[in-house]
Structures are given as structure tokens and as C-alpha cells.
Structure 1
Amino acid sequence: MTKRLVGALITSAVLTFGAGGAATAAECIAPANPGGGWDFTCRQIGKIMFDIGAVDKPVQVTNMPGAGGGLAFGNVVNERSDDTDLIVAASTATTTRLAQNAYAGMTADQVRFVGAIGADPGVIVVAADSAFQSLGDLVEAIKADPGSVAFAGGSAVGGFDHMKPLMVLKEGGFTDITKVKYIGVDGGADAITQTVGGFTQAMTGDMSEVVSFLSNGDIRVIAVLTDERVPGFEDIPTAKEQGYDVVAVNWRGLYVPKDISDARFDEWAGKLQQVADSPEWAQAMADNGLAPFTKVGGDFQSYIDGLVADIAALSKELGVTQ
């Protein structure tokens, strides 16, 4: 027996589902490096699925960074379109890129969006020793000299992380957004590293990506992009209370290959709903600054259809797409 066949048999045995269903293998692709939001989604949801008995074996997490999630999306569409055992971490960043045709012609209807069970508040972050003490300080510096401030974010250029500071700047009266410097990297952890290291002056991302860096004292969050302050992080002011009426949350969820059966789609939706209803997920949200946001199955797919259309329109208004 070849080593490859032995490995395949071992992998299949390790990843077998239980919970009264047919034997299948569970894998979650995180389309970025370890440490970012998509990685968090796969690891937390996969772990809780196992902990609460939705699956009877641990879910394997595969990190597949590249092209702001496009590499993983293309792999699913082109190579695994009928894989019933695959889930993929997704977020508002995913739909933003699809709305902006950032995945080389691939579209949102080439997969099925199975659900979201939390919203990650957007944040604007600076290094702990930064001279910027408030969101206003940052905006005024850019208005005075647009080239003096560069942002790092875990999305590609024109993606949702990129759009967050652009929306804030627009609210602040700055409209020449093409002059704003932005560096897209693979995941929030890399974006924070860029900022803490002094390569960029600010990071734009999500609360779950910065919690550990915040507790370590590496960074300061100068604004959270929510209607109200986030429970557990009440000392961080919103952009709205600083005079910038911007709300930008990043839902956390999953998509699955398009060609799986409706029954299998509903099965994944049910497992995700089990996670959403669990005290373990409530604790994970509290620990990581997530707000409740539960849409699963067909309800979520309808929401995605509308979201893609809305983001396409907003992107055109902001000038990041034609």
C-alpha cells in the first residue's frame, strides 16, 4: 500500500462525522494565514461543533491564503464543487470582493452561503506608541497630508477593510480617496504586524483580529465601527460618537460548494444553528468582541444576494470600482 493511500485512509478515519449521519469527512478551509478572522471562524466553529456533538470528530482546518480569499474560492469552485464534506470560512470581505469582481470573474452564485452566526465590529487601530490619540487626529492628518498615513488591512485593495477608513474619511469631508495609502495583506494578524512594526501608521480590520494584541498592549483601538460600544470593550469609543457616522460590521460565517444537495446544505445549516444556540458560542463571542448575528440556510442566502448588490453600489459611489 502506498504512503499516499495510507495517508488518505488515516485522514478519512480521523475526520468521520457521527451524530447519527452517514460517514463523511469534515474540513474547514480558512482562506488566510493562521491568526486572522477567517482562521478564527474555522477554528472556533469547528471546535464548538465537536464540543457540542454536532460532529463526533474534530474538524480539520486547512489554511489556504492567497488573493484575498480568491485562491480558496477558486479551489472550491473549480476542484471541489460537489464536496459534501467541505465548509469554508467567509465574511463581509468575501462578498465585497465578489461584488467588485476581485476573484477573476468568479461570482457569488458559484457557491452556497450556508450561514453567519456573529458580527465582528470593524475597528481602526494604531500602534501603542502612535501619536494619534483619536479618530479625529488620524482623519485630520490625512486631510492635511494624504500621503503621511498608510493603512494595512487583511483584505485586498478595494476590499471591505480598505472601504472602512474610506467611509470614515468621506464622512469627515475628505473625498479624494485615491490618495489614501492602503496595503492589503493576508489576514488581520499580518496587518497588525505591519502597523506595530512601523511599516504602516494604522490598521483597519475587525475586533476579533486585534483582541490578543490589545490585551498585550501592542496596539490601541481608536474607533469601533458600531452603533454602540462593544460589550466587554466599553472603553473604546465608536466612530459615531467621535463625529463620523459610520457603521461597518463584518459577519462571520460559512459557504459550501454549489453542487451539494439541498439536504446536505440544510444539514450544514442545522449544525451551524446548533453552534449559534450554544453557550460555548456565546462565550466565544464575548471573549472576542463579536455581536450576535444569526442567519442560516435560505434566509442567509437571500441576505447575501442583497448584500452583494448593495456593496457593488457603494463601491461605485466610493470610486473603488467602475
Structure 2
Amino acid sequence: MQRRALLAATTLLPLPATAQGFTPQNPECIAGAAPGGGFDITCRLTARMLNETGIVGPAIRTQNMPGGIGAVAINHINAQRRADPNVIVAVSTGSWVNMATGRFGRFGENDVRWIGTIGADYGVIAVKKDSAFQNLGDLVTALRANPAGVPMGAGGAVGSQDWTKAALIARAAGVDPRRMRYVPFEGGGQTLAALLGGHIQMAPVDASEARGQFEAGEIRLLAVLSAERLPGAMAAVPTAKEQGFEAEWPIVRGFYGPPQMPDAAYNFWVEAIRKLQQHPAFPEQRAAQGLFEFNMSGAEFDALAKRRTAEFRQLARDVGLISQ
């Protein structure tokens, strides 16, 4: 899933993005969850960098809109701001899962305009620093003995992206994921607070969300759900596959716009994200948030979003989360 792009330094001019003369007025980025999670990171990192690099002139504010891990946000956009040229909304692989399983109500992948990505994240399995689970094998043993005996929680309800991470571990252990004891929260910030408070014993969250508490020594990561070990601060954390369990979960992070966003505005935001992807100051800032390079925008990102949502919809049918 990681994607490397060849960047031409001669084109990296810190000039405002333009599209047929369009300039946003009071631009806004909506993070569809409580502060502290992946959506929040996506908005705040992008808004800051677009402004600091001069790619977008007007200051971009971040609005947190928790509720259904993006459900309230997409309903808000479609009900009240269908043609708003000044708003972009943070999106992730989990949004595609929610669209596929009907958790966004009647709104799906064809009810937004897909703009582009700022990077990729990966799932991790987190426990408190003093947890009895020293590695993924310990957790799997406990799940096999009593699937409901390990209280766990993360952003979204059963069938959500974070639930699916835990379900991958359960399936690798030969356990029916529907027997797990799972508590839904509004994003990664609330999830990690619950973990540190002892309300849950395990949290299947994102690497970017967990990084701060991991580096502070407050949590232990039993596994990263990537094909290879991640570089940097999490280099010592083994993959699930290294420990004998086939479980991977890459997370794409990016943005969509309203379904009737005018073409000039849509092209403006696509161009802005492309310039940010290519800006020499961005890789360091992206890495500081635990994100990895994954550059896609415009029609290519539109095709990916629709393809992956269709794949998740079929998977949901296969495991009985939605009807045929």
C-alpha cells in the first residue's frame, strides 16, 4: 500500500494554488471525530502546512464534528453544504468501511468528491504499559480461552475500521470476531484515554494516534498491522506476521469535498494537495505525525476510493455484517 512518488524539485514553488481564479473564503477542514484522533491529525497537519507553505493563503480552521466516526460530518455536508467550495472533510480507509456497511446512512462513495491523500497510516494493537500481555501471542491465547474476557475498544461500532483490526487478530486466532467484547468510542483520543484509565485492556488503533503515548512509555504495542516493520520510533515493534498471524491493515488518509462542489473549487483543492505532497518541507512534518508517503489525488484517488469501498461492501456481505 505504501506508494513512492518521484518529486521534481524544480516545480516546488511555494505559490498559492489556483484553479480558474478561485480563492477560498474562510476555508474549513472538518474532522469527523473528537480531538486527538486520526481525522483531527489529518486536518490540523494539512491546514497548518498549506498555510505555512503559502500554498493556500487564507487561514484554514479545523472543526471537530464527532458522531459516528464521520457519519455526522457526511450527513452535514450533504444536507447543508452540498455545493460549499470552502470546505474539505478528512477521510480514511475507515470511512470506506463505514460507507460499505451503511453506517453513513444513505450516503456513500458517490455522494462526495474525492480530493486527495496526505499519507498512509497503519493499524497497531495497543495495551497499557503494565499489561499482562507481553506480545501478540499472549493476547491470542487469552482470546482463545475466552473471547469476551478481554475488554477492548476503539473508534466506531462493530464492523468499523478499528473493530475490523481486532477482528483480523481474532480470525487469525480461530475465534469468531462477533464474540469479542468491544466498546465503541468517538475516535482515537477517547480510546487511548479509556485504555490508560483501565476501562479496556486492548485498543486496536492507528500508529499515528498511538505514537505519542508509545513514545512517552504509557502504552505497549503488541504488533503493527503492516507488511514490514515501520521505520522510526516504532521500528522495534514486530508485525503480526512476524509473530505468526496474518493480519495487515493499512490506512489511507486524505480528503473529500461536497458532492456539488464547483469544478473550479474542486480543482483548486486537488492542486493544493498535489503541491503539498511535493513540497520539500512536507515529508518531515508528515513523518512527525506517524504518517508514511502515499500520494494520490483527483481522478486516481476517486477510482481508489470507489474500488476499495466496493471491496469492503463485499467483505461485509461475506461475514454477515450486511445482507446480500
Q: Which residue of 2 aligns with 1:223?
A: 223
Whole-Å Cα distance in 2 between the matches of residues 211 and 85 of structure 1?
31
| Contact in 2 for aligned 1:54/1:274 (Cα 8 Å) | yes
Relative distance call for 1:119 and 1:23 in structure 2 (3 A) is: closer
| Contact in 1 for aligned 2:22/2:265 (Cα 8 Å) | no
Within 5 A, what are the aligned runs for 1:138-149?
Answer: 138-149=139-150
| Partner AA of 2:145 in structure 1 | A
| Partner AA of 2:66 in structure 1 | P
| Contact in 2 for aligned 1:151/1:201 (Cα 8 Å) | yes
Whole-Å Cα distance in 2 between the matches of residues 37 and 246 of structure 1?
20
Shift of 1:106: 1.7
Is 1:114 matched with 2:115? yes
Shift of 1:23: 4.1
Shift of 1:262: 2.6
Whole-Å Cα distance in 1 between the matches of residues 315 and 93 of structure 2?
13
Give the share of equivalent positions with the same residue, in percent: 35
Q: Which residue of 1 aligns with 2:3?
A: none
Q: Deviations over 1:136-165 (max 9, x none)?
A: 111110110111112211123210100011
Q: Which residue of 2 aligns with 1:239?
A: 240
Shift of 1:293: 1.0
| Contact in 1 for aligned 2:86/2:265 (Cα 8 Å) | no
Q: Which residue of 1 aligns with 2:4?
A: none
Is 1:167 matched with 2:174? no
Whole-Å Cα distance in 2 between the matches of residues 48 and 164 of structure 1?
30
Structure 1 unaligned regions, length at least 5 = 1-16
Is 1:123 matched with 2:117? no
Q: Which residue of 2 aligns with 1:208?
A: 208
Q: Which residue of 2 aligns with 1:12?
A: none
Q: Which residue of 2 aligns with 1:80?
A: 81
Is 1:193 matched with 2:193? yes
TM-score by length of 1: 0.91
Cα RMSD for the two superposed structures: 1.5
Q: Which residue of 2 aligns with 1:4?
A: none
Q: Which residue of 2 aligns with 1:11?
A: none
Whole-Å Cα distance in 2 between the matches of residues 18 and 227 of structure 1?
37
Q: Which residue of 1 aligns with 2:312?
A: 311
Within 5 A, what are the aligned runs for 1:47-62?
Answer: 47-62=48-63
Q: What secondary structure, in the 3-state scheme, does the structure 2 residue paired with 1:295 have?
A: coil
Relative distance call for 1:299 and 1:126 in structure 2 (3 A) is: same
Is 1:301 matched with 2:297? no
Shift of 1:291: 1.8
| Partner AA of 1:132 in structure 2 | F
| Contact in 2 for aligned 1:152/1:192 (Cα 8 Å) | no
Shift of 1:275: 1.2
Q: Which residue of 2 aligns with 1:255?
A: 256
Whole-Å Cα distance in 2 between the matches of residues 251 and 280 of structure 1?
20
Q: What secondary structure, in the 3-state scheme, does the structure 1 residue paired with 2:281 have?
A: helix
Q: Which residue of 2 aligns with 1:13?
A: none
| Partner AA of 1:100 in structure 2 | T
| Contact in 2 for aligned 1:207/1:288 (Cα 8 Å) | no
Whole-Å Cα distance in 1 between the matches of residues 208 and 231 of structure 2?
13
Q: Which residue of 1 aligns with 2:5?
A: none
| Contact in 2 for aligned 1:33/1:63 (Cα 8 Å) | yes
| Partner AA of 2:86 in structure 1 | D
| Partner AA of 2:180 in structure 1 | V
Whole-Å Cα distance in 1 between the matches of residues 297 and 287 of structure 2?
21
| Partner AA of 2:167 in structure 1 | L
Larger relative helix fraction: 1
Q: Deviations over 1:58-112 (max 9, x none)?
A: 2111111012211111000110000001100010111110000011222221111
Q: Which residue of 2 aligns with 1:275?
A: 276
Whole-Å Cα distance in 2 between the matches of residues 244 and 285 of structure 1?
29
Whole-Å Cα distance in 2 between the matches of residues 37 and 257 of structure 1?
20
Shift of 1:278: 1.9
Q: Report runs of 4+ in structure 1 exceeding 6 Å deviation.
A: none
Q: What secondary structure, in the 3-state scheme, does the structure 1 residue paired with 2:159 have?
A: coil
Q: Which residue of 1 aligns with 2:184?
A: 184
| Contact in 2 for aligned 1:32/1:64 (Cα 8 Å) | yes
Shift of 1:214: 0.9
Q: What secondary structure, in the 3-state scheme, does the structure 2 residue paired with 1:44 have?
A: helix
Relative distance call for 1:118 and 1:23 in structure 2 (3 A) is: closer
| Partner AA of 2:132 in structure 1 | A
Q: What secondary structure, in the 3-state scheme, does the structure 1 residue paired with 2:293 have?
A: coil
Shift of 1:223: 0.5
Whole-Å Cα distance in 2 between the matches of residues 127 and 280 of structure 1?
34
